[in-house]
Amino acid sequence: MPKRRPDHVPMRTCVACRQVRPKRSLTRIVRGPDGAVAIDPTGKAAGRGTYVCDAEACREPRRLADAVNRALGAAVEPGSLQLEVTDAAT
């Protein structure tokens, strides 16, 4: 099996601002097999996932709910997802 390149950094797009950023600097939100939407701190939960960055504007409840509804096809009420701003890059 070939080894992964040491300089490879997985990139993902923020669901709210559409900026491409390193995967480790984003927070994953997942719609599980049961249809529940939750934050996935491990990044390995089963289900359809999307990512959101740490920008204040992206974590505004109304904007986040609209973006998650569009990406995951699940009804999410504004304010139901409580995201904390973390420094995931460290």
| Structure tokens given for 65 | 């709910």
- Among 34, 28, 2, smallest CA distance to 15 is for 28
Handedness of CA 4, 52, 76, 71 (dihedral sign): negative
Q: State the total domains in the chain.
A: 1
Instruction: Note the pTM of the prediction, 2 decimals.
Output: 0.82
Q: Does a structural domain hold residue 88?
A: no
DSSP 9-62: --EEEBTTT--EEEGGGSEEEEE-TTS-EEEESSS--SSEEEEE-S-TGGG-HH
Task: Convert the pLDDT of each residue in 4-39 to its tens digit.
Answer: 778 899 999 999 999 999 999 999 999 999 999 999
Q: What is the CATH number of the domain that holds 65?
A: 3.30.1230.10
Q: Does a structural domain hold residue 83?
A: no
- Identify the domain containing residue 55 by its residue range: 11-72
Around 79, how many Cα atoms within 13 Å sit in the side-chain half-sphere? 0
